[in-house]
Structure 1
Amino acid sequence: MMSNLIDKIGDWNPQLFRELKGRLKFFNVAIAVATSLLLQLVVFLYQLRELPDDRYSLTATYCRLHQVYELQQKQVYQESDQSRIADLNHFFSNNFCPQNEIDWQLWWQNHWEYTFLTFSVIFIFTLLVAGTYLLINDLAKEETRGTLNFIRLSPQSETSILTGKLLGVPSLIYLFILVAVPLHLWAGLSAKIAFNYILSYYAIVAASCIFFYSAALLFGLFSRSFSGFQPWLGSGLLLLFLFITMVVALSDNITLNNSTAWFRLFNPWDVTNYLFPNLFHVYYGSPVTNLQFFYLPLGTSVVSVVGLYLLNFGLCSYGIFQALKRCFRNPQASIISKEQSYFIVAFCQLMMWGFSVQISLNNERWDERLGGSLILLALYNLVLILSLIVVLSPHRQDVQDWARYRHQAVSSRKSAWQDLIKGEKSPALVAIAINLTIVTIPWLVWVSLTSVFDANNGQIWLSNDIDRFKVVLAIALSISLMMIYATIAQLILLLKTPKRYFWTIGTLGTAMFLPPTILQFLDISSSKYPTVWLFSTFPWAAIEYSGVTTIFMALLAELSVLALLNFQLTRRVRLAGESATKALLAGR
């Protein structure tokens, strides 16, 4: 029967057939089933360790008489009568709760709840960590044996191959979990947990598996330099992420009223604790109940919360899957295209700003809270743009091919701009400029519509047009600085030296962090020397202490540097595009 089922699967997805046939051996299946059953028995028996017996205390939780005796004990201790306290202690030590006074229904309900919650945690760790390890390890073995190239040459579609990997490689993990699902479901229903809450948990776990498994495949394709260490590295990073987010979910001072809330949507613990409040015994309630998105109170409904998590996992998994399809056949291709980068940047801005713009639930000023969140937004966008600079900037050979043969495909100025915006091998400066424009639009809207409360001196900033104009100039400074970094990165990638990516990352890192570090080390503060800080990676620190004329002159200086660098880049690209014969005749 199993053989016939696998054969039918092979007709639908040959790659899944290959994975299942290699893993669903009798011995492997028996081990997975036996391990799952043994784990269920251990968890069940472990929860029985506190089964009420003949020596169950009168003041214990499940004794129906405990409230009466606790009240009596409280009165005696308030009277401070030592003789009565001694008599009471003697009574408690020699008398126990009668068996007919034990609330067995409540005890079994809590027992099943503990069992359900224990398996809920085990499912998340087992599926995500073990499944991630198996997927990355499988790709590493395929690469070592050389069979991965044969799979790439297969007539199957990328979707079929990748789906077969996602479903087939962790198949024994799926079997391990499926054997434990009946007990988990029975425990949840016995604990009087709503069936739709349990189904919501299963949906969240399935969506998180698709996301992290897709990310694991992408990591496996681009981590060949780690040799055989990449399975441990990938699964270890995910395990660390799960532990850290579990600690964060246990914290009572972590809220979801800033841009970090989006990153917590990738954490399965918050929504699990929202569905099952006794998971971490957090008595102050889950922060998800106060979750807002552009003032929409999504946390008030289970449907909206689960829908938001599923939508986020679904969209991000789709994006990773598109990157997988793009890079699977050609490992040398960039992870994303220029067109895809525009959608990614727009999506990131939507999510980060959506969770930053919320109604304050306490006495905190909303503009003060938003002002603190803007620092996080600026840092996230800085990392995002720098990552895109490294990913989208093509290497020397690609630029050389584009410069040499573009006249065959480009017949007009309009086509030339389309090639710079969408082309795979053209320099990425125009694409970076478009992404910076997408990032800038929400900032300009914010500057024109709001003000910021400075908690240090109790003053309101951005309350007049001069302050707003200074911020607009600061945004222009940041854009010009990012464009300078992008031009430098493209110039380095046009060199003939080996390991150009490492040189690019090292140069950008030095240009970004060395000047502010030196200024801090020399105790050159932004309040005393604002002009110096205007030319650093963080010009925002000096905006409040600089005049409009000073900021404008700094902007002109950066634009001049950008123009010179682009002139040099244009010259390099033109020289790279010359034919070998023309270069030889010109004496180069």
Structure 2
Amino acid sequence: MHNSPSDSPQAISWLDHIGNWNPQLLREIRGKLKLRNLIVAIGLSLLFQTLLLLFYSQRIPMQECYTQMRGFGCTPSWQVWWLEQFRFITWTEPFILFFTGVYSLVADLSLEDYKGTLNFIRISPRSSINVLMGKLMGVPILTYLGIGLSIPYHLASAIGANVPIAFLCSFYILMIGTAFLLFSLSLLLALLSGWQAKFGGQVSAGALVFAFITFIWFAPAFMWWNIFTTWSSFSQVLVGGRIEPIHAEWWYLSITSNIWASHAFTIVNLGIFSLAIWRILQRRFHNPASTLISKGQSYVMAVYVQILMLGFCMQSSFMRIPSSNSSTIEFQLILLLLIYIPNCFLFLLAIAALTPQRQALLDWVRFGALATNEGQPAGLGYIIRDLIWSDKSPAPIAIALNLIFTQVLILIWVNTWTASEIRGKALIVLASFVLTILVFSLIAQLILFLKTRNPSAWVTGTISALVFLPVLIMVSLSINPDRHAGLWLFFGFPWLVISNIKFSDIILAFSAQISVIIALTLQLIYQLQRARMQDT
């Protein structure tokens, strides 16, 4: 009887070893590495390399090219011939790896959730990290195989083009680090909110959307960020022309002048963001009903992101610009705007990640700081501690603390500006931002505390309406920011009015926002007390 290679003792021992280390990885290997899948993956990789080689066979440097145009034309030398192939592979591999990896991970985990098999994986005695790492390594294994088969061609073209092998090592290290971050994010997206159940079996549509975003955004960002920082001295190799390296600094420390510093900065940040995502995955995997992150984690993450963004505003070249120059004032406002925009997304995500659902709030009322049990600690201090740290307590206090931690850092930076006029405008922007985010967080918490069907959709719709509807209404009614600056400031659009707003408009707008915050806070307290009385 003929035995297949997979039935040999060596193969069985190898598979058993993988199964003992990570059963989920063994499950994915057995599911993905079927003969048909292997033939397709290997065939596509070899077909890509063959077509690329056939195309460049028309560009082989020959003497006849100088007297007669042949095919696509030829290259002037063998080094250039190899360099063009190296450049093409270098630009193609990240797009293929990121797109196919993200698509396969989101589609696979979403399909598991839709079919219900993910619940069986959750009750596995293995840790969530072990299970999810098995998914990350095993699901895109055919993509890994296809990319791995192209490495010898890539290495040969690098040698032929006299490209330093150190650059090739840097390329693969950074690509693997970025892929790990993106694939970890893909696992998180697939686990969020059960969106795939709303589309029935069409889980591939959502996976395709995420993969497309990766293809048009993350993959180009990976290449261009490294070209302008880490690989600036290899721009001739990557783009065919000399790109002057940018002199970027982070907290006045250069991250582009030294290749080791640029590598360290990129790799460390990839590691920190990956670690944060895996902490969220570990929390979310076994408890899908919990908030996305804990309140303590949110404080650390918000401060770190703020320090990261502010670091890029600390450039030595900015200090050499005369402070009396009007263009400097405009430049400082632009820097503040560049921090303001990601902060808006950051805090909207924080509201979504920290705000507990109705059932969690009811549990907090029954068993938390508001509980009436005799053995339960009581007092204002215990309630405040619970509001700051308990994941089931209302989120606005945690959002307010995140605002304090992050905006104080920006205030310290703004205080270094020499022009008092520009500092006043910046304070208006920051105050408006803080009050608007507090209003949004209170509204989100009140909606999630209601007995409604699909409260998350109601929160998303309400917040979106509060952001976009006032602008549409005021524009349609010809309410000009110059004449009605206070109204625009009340709805959270300080950038349109800070140039010529009156002090009275500022007082009225902020007083109105504070009144709304107080009213919403009282309403939330009333709802909590009502739930407590009903439970009693």
By the TM > 0.5 criterion, same fold?
yes
Q: Does 1:404 align with 2:366?
A: yes
- Are positions 1:52 and 2:14 aligned together? no
> Are the structure 2 counterparts of residues 177 and 245 from structure 1 closer, same or farther at C-alpha, using a change threshold of 3 Å?
closer
Aligned residues: 511
Displacement of 1:284: 5.0
User: CA offset at residue 393 of structure 1?
Assistant: 1.4
Matched, 1:326 2:283: yes
Contact 1:220 1:230 (C-alpha < 8 Å) held by counterparts? no
CA contact (8 A) 2:229 2:255 kept: no
> Structure 2 CA distance, aligned partners of 1:266 and 1:438?
32
Q: Structure 1, residues 241-277: CA drift from partner, whole Å, max 9, x if none?
A: 433567xx6xxxxxxxxxxxxx779967766864642
Deviations 1:300-341 (CA, angstroms, capped at 9, x unpaired): 222222222222221111111111111111222222121111
1:439 partnered with 2:406: yes
1:135–1:165 contact (8 Å) kept in structure 2: yes
| 1:395 CA drift (Å) | 1.7
2:99 aligned residue (112, 129, 134): 129
Q: Which moved more, 1:348-357 or 1:127-136?
A: 348-357
2:90 paired residue number: 120
- Partner residue of 2:250? 293
Structure 2 unmatched runs, 5+: 1-9
Query: Within the alignment, does 1:156 sit opposite 2:126 as a pair?
Result: yes
Per-residue CA distance 1:447-478 (angstroms, 9 max, x = gap): 31114xxxxxxxxxx435xx645643553343
Aligned to 1:168: 138
The separation in 1 between residues aligned to 2:232 and 2:277, in whole angstroms, is 27
Query: Residues 310 and 410 of structure 2 are in contact (CA less than 8 Å); yes or no, is this contact kept in structure 1?
Result: no
By how many angstroms is 1:206 displaced?
0.4
From 575, 578, 585, give the equivalent of 2:530: 575
State which drifts further: 169-178 or 470-479: 470-479
Instruction: Provide the C-alpha distance between the structure 2 equivalents of 1:131 and 1:285, rounded to a whole number of angstroms.
Output: 31
Structure 2 CA distance for aligned equivalents of residues 415 and 284 of structure 1: 62
- Deviations 1:509-543, CA, capped at 9 Å, x for gaps: 22232223322333333322322223121134333
Task: Name 1:420's counterpart in structure 2.
Answer: 387
Q: Which moved more, 1:431-440 or 1:26-35?
A: 26-35
Q: Which digits, 9 at most, give the CA deviation of each residue in 1:159-187, with x for residues without a partner?
A: 10011111111112112222221221222
Q: CA RMSD in A?
A: 3.0
User: Which residue is 2:161 aligned to?
Assistant: 191
Partner of 1:386: 348
Q: Does 1:521 align with 2:491?
A: no
Q: Note if 1:24 corresponds to 2:33.
A: yes
1:469–1:238 Cα change, 3 Å: same
Q: Which amino acid aligns with 1:556?
A: S
Q: Which moved more, 1:24-33 or 1:189-198?
A: 24-33
SS at match of 2:256: helix
* Secondary structure at 1:184 match in 2: helix
Q: Does 1:13 align with 2:25?
A: no
SS at match of 1:118: helix
Q: Distance in 1 between matches of 2:491 and 2:439?
A: 12
CA gap of 1:118–1:232, structure 2 versus 1, over 3 A, is: farther
Deviation at 1:349, TM superposition (A): 1.0
Provide TM-score, normalisation by structure 1: 0.79
**Which deviates more, 227-236 or 146-155?**
227-236
What secondary structure is seen at the aligned counterpart in 1 of 2:163?
A: coil
**Structure 1 counterpart of 2:272:** 315
**Structure 1 residue 496: deviation in Å?**
0.9
Partner of 2:299: 342
- Amino acid aligned to 2:273: C
Instruction: Give secondary structure in 2 for the equivalent of 1:200.
Output: helix
Change (3 A) 1:506 1:266: farther
Query: 442-451 or 537-546, which moves further after superposition?
Result: 537-546
Partner SS for 1:55: helix
2:108 maps to 138
Q: CA deviation at 1:386?
A: 2.0
Aligned amino acid, residue 552 of structure 1: I
In 2, Cα distance between the equivalents of 1:542 and 1:170? 50
Of 514-523 and 172-181, the range deviating more from structure 2:
514-523
Of 385-394 and 416-425, deviating more is 385-394
AA aligned opposite 1:314: G
Letter paired with 2:178: S
Contact 1:432 1:483 in 2 (8 A): yes
Name the structure 2 match of 1:252: none
Aligned position for 2:47: 38
Could you tell me whether the CA contact under 8 Å between 1:420 and 1:428 is conserved in 2?
yes
Report 1:70-89 matches (<5 A). none
Aligned counterpart, 2:511: 556
Quick one: distance in 1 between partners of 2:359 and 2:472?
Answer: 36
Aligned residue number for residue 539 of structure 1: 494
Equivalent position of 1:484 in the other structure: 439
What is the CA–CA distance in structure 2 between the aligned matches of 1:499 and 1:29, rounded to whole Å? 43
Contact preservation (8 Å) 2:61, 2:81? no
Which whole-Å CA distance do the structure 1 matches of 2:127 and 2:217 have between them?
38
SS in 2 for 1:335: coil
Contact kept, 8 Å, 1:140 with 1:228, in 2: the verdict is: no
Q: Distance in 2 between matches of 1:242 and 1:269?
A: 18
Could you list the per-position Cα deviations for residues 50-95 of structure 1 after superposition, in whole angstroms to 9, with x for gaps in the alignment?
Answer: 123452216xxxxxxxxxxxxxxxxxxxxxxxxxxxxxxxxxx79x
